[in-house]
Structure 1
């Protein structure tokens, strides 16, 4: 930049900050007034109290909305963004003064986002996250600019991240407040890389078939079982009614059963369609030391992630994916998946393990080979701990079932069946967990495997582990086994990663590797 250039967000941020409630209340007010215009006018002319009260209430609500809009306008007018050397500054000069200063070198990723409203008016939201544990669950900075200006701004930030020393030498002599477009014009973009859109222009997006396959494999096993049970129940009911010769009743029951099945089926289909819309045209490419990721139909999202900010690689297999040898890949770093609607920080969609392994070696050679590494199962002595707690669990549930059987004698057989089912499911779950969970230690990574019917495999860089916490109860101490938790710099859902039971002798090796990579 030629000096310190301060600029504001695009004014459309006022409408976005007012939120959906503003538009809902406004629509209700306008719609209600138009539909009952004659009644309101008659009541007002007649001077009735009811009419006056209704009109005053509407005017009060409208005045409140106007005041909120004015307040948001003041916030917008008094909020400035500037770049001073290698520092991004967001300053709000209202009654509650705030100044947020962020070192650009600490930025973990920059992403852009467009919802339908922003697509219509041609703006774009920039989200910036930093390597900060205190703000890992939320976006640190949100800036709204015109789409072209947003792309240039992101490119300029990327340039500073790559050459912080050169930017430190730039000293500001004059500070001027300008528009976002003028600010972009003053940015020195002589050595920038392309925007996410330019980088991914020649990249082929995920095809319709790939998206549908991904939707099927990410669906939970429970959803599939519910659909199957509903269909089987509807068929059995219809067959039973037809066997009794009551055609009218059987048709009615079939219709009701069909409605229930259709509702459940459409709910499952919607889960697939929702994922398809959210991750439509999914693209990912690596250029130099950055990953460029883009996806979305109704809400377009683009990420630029420096590779050195990636803390871990997560490979997930659902039950059906595990049966067919398919998996999907996600990355864990600060900012990816910290919003409720962005819980999946995709790197690769569901595909054959061999194909995804090739793609990982292409996109993240730093993690190459992790898919071929094996984890060691939990020690066999873990069954002793599980069986002791299992016996306590069975005694508690059996006692509850016995009391319930005495109270509801007519349902005693069903209560006993439920207790047997609980014991069987618990036993199957423990067997599945024993066969799935494990721990591995590579030269650069800590490998953790978790799951029951499905499987989640996590490769964590030793240098990215914030700290390690180990636990031992009296039984584990007796049998010389431990479990623990590793803490990462990530959003709340990925911050704490559980380590299953492992041999006590491994803990010293684990501590040594963590200290060596600090």
Structure 2
């Protein structure tokens, strides 16, 4: 007979309080809408008190029944979960079907030494984690270790790897790398978001203060045009504002990055990759290497100039919930990217020559981007007085097309396919051929004349499937990438 366990009882109390407070605000609004002279009469006070007490009782009753009915167990082959109040649900997940095992801690859970353990199999019909259980942190780690120990992976992707892994195969992020992550991620957008949110708050509660500040700035700026201020002072004023804004944005970005990725650790334990990070909300992920569908190296424009990139992985169940990020390592230059892949994921190490798109494809990349910019530019120019300023977008779209041309390329060996694509947001994808679900080759009339084609591979991802596409490859490669995959 199987031994079943329940979640920690505090999870029921937490859920009850959450239900109560979510229901409280609408209830208060309804009561306020019925305000009258008799609102504070003894009868009304007793009725409202009864409603609040009833809401508390219902919240706790529902949560406790749900907690009591939710039971879990593990045997030598699978994880078992029974739950449900009105409809009983029984779920069994064999170990060899598990994609990820994640342990995370919210701030509230850390106060009571609790943790959430989440298990995913890659079932695309399920949103969020398929099994989520709250228990003591020490028990959660033992639960995870027991599953990892008993799991038997019948996938052959790992069998080519003869390396032994030990505790030295661990990589931690440095404070310098965290700062680099923040400064190269488009920090000014963080400043815009904070300033906008602060403005909305101040606009609601301190409107007079806002008006005074705006009037003072207006008078200050008027001094520029009335020649009461020297040109030198005017330039100093504008530069100072921009400088303070950038400083503010960078500080916000650095704080957000430290809170999110503080204590980031990447390590390899046998056939699993272990990733943990977080200052206030601790996250711990265990991903079976054989079930990783792809490694991505992503670079925005600034990171393309500096040579840094963000490393991510595609694995069903990792990064599929709010607040999660399918990160492998937050920031790394080219040398470190190769080091991380070679040391922790040698199954994905790729060192063959990349075949770039041919020179004749350049005009197609540029023309395609110009077509996207032409329609809005024409509409704005015709309908608005200053619409001709939209013509300034044309050089940006030309540059985007050129960047796509420079970044696009493809290569493959016996086990991997390598695709580089996109312009201002460059993405390098390294995909095990065994993880590819389908390929698609397409050509329009003009591409046929230029002997070019588009190539797309589909892999299993969190959103039913993920498509990775590269445009305008040389027609000479078509047969190689059509018949040489499956």
Could you tell me the TM-score, scaled by structure 1's length? Answer: 0.74
Structure 2: runs of 5+ lacking an equivalent: 29-34, 155-164, 195-216
Q: 2:387 aligns with which of 409, 415, 432?
A: 415
Contact 2:366 2:401 in 1 (8 A): no
C-alpha displacement at 1:364, in angstroms? 1.3
Contact 1:22 1:65 in 2 (8 A): yes
Deviations 1:296-329 (A, max 9, x none): 1101111122221222111122323222222232
For 1:473, the equivalent position in structure 2 comes to 444
Q: 2:104 aligns with which of 113, 135, 140?
A: 113
C-alpha displacement at 1:512, in angstroms? 3.1
Within the alignment, does 1:143 sit opposite 2:121 as a pair? no
Taking a change above 3 Å as real, the CA distance of residues 393 and 319 of structure 1, as seen in their structure-2 partners, is closer
For 1:12, the equivalent position in structure 2 comes to 10
* Aligned residue pair count: 447
C-alpha displacement at 1:15, in angstroms? 3.6
Within the alignment, does 1:214 sit opposite 2:195 as a pair? no
For 1:126 and 1:24, locate their aligned partners in 2 and report how far apart those are by CA, in whole Å. Answer: 25
Taking a change above 3 Å as real, the CA distance of residues 311 and 402 of structure 1, as seen in their structure-2 partners, is closer
Deviations 1:45-66 (A, max 9, x none): xx93553446534532442343
Q: 1:100 aligns with which of 76, 91, 95?
A: 91
Contact 1:379 1:502 in 2 (8 A): yes
Taking a change above 3 Å as real, the CA distance of residues 394 and 106 of structure 1, as seen in their structure-2 partners, is closer
Within the alignment, does 1:355 sit opposite 2:330 as a pair? no
C-alpha displacement at 1:363, in angstroms? 1.0
For 1:492, the equivalent position in structure 2 comes to 463
C-alpha displacement at 1:126, in angstroms? 0.2
Contact 1:439 1:500 in 2 (8 A): no
Taking a change above 3 Å as real, the CA distance of residues 365 and 238 of structure 1, as seen in their structure-2 partners, is farther
For 1:256 and 1:354, locate their aligned partners in 2 and report how far apart those are by CA, in whole Å. Answer: 40
Within the alignment, does 1:73 sit opposite 2:64 as a pair? yes
C-alpha displacement at 1:395, in angstroms? 5.4
For 2:299, the equivalent position in structure 1 comes to 317
For 1:476 and 1:66, locate their aligned partners in 2 and report how far apart those are by CA, in whole Å. Answer: 68
Q: 2:348 aligns with which of 358, 364, 367?
A: 367
For 1:49 and 1:476, locate their aligned partners in 2 and report how far apart those are by CA, in whole Å. Answer: 75
For 1:103 and 1:210, locate their aligned partners in 2 and report how far apart those are by CA, in whole Å. Answer: 39
For 1:362 and 1:202, locate their aligned partners in 2 and report how far apart those are by CA, in whole Å. Answer: 7
For 1:173, the equivalent position in structure 2 comes to none
Taking a change above 3 Å as real, the CA distance of residues 335 and 508 of structure 1, as seen in their structure-2 partners, is same
For 2:270, the equivalent position in structure 1 comes to 288
Taking a change above 3 Å as real, the CA distance of residues 50 and 201 of structure 1, as seen in their structure-2 partners, is farther
For 1:88, the equivalent position in structure 2 comes to 79
Could you tell me the TM-score, scaled by structure 2's length? Answer: 0.79
Structure 1: runs of 5+ lacking an equivalent: 31-39, 165-193, 228-234, 406-410
Taking a change above 3 Å as real, the CA distance of residues 224 and 382 of structure 1, as seen in their structure-2 partners, is farther
For 1:121 and 1:92, locate their aligned partners in 2 and report how far apart those are by CA, in whole Å. Answer: 24
Residue 75 of structure 1: SS of its match in structure 2?
Answer: helix
Taking a change above 3 Å as real, the CA distance of residues 259 and 97 of structure 1, as seen in their structure-2 partners, is farther
Residue 48 of structure 1: SS of its match in structure 2?
Answer: helix
C-alpha displacement at 1:157, in angstroms? 0.5
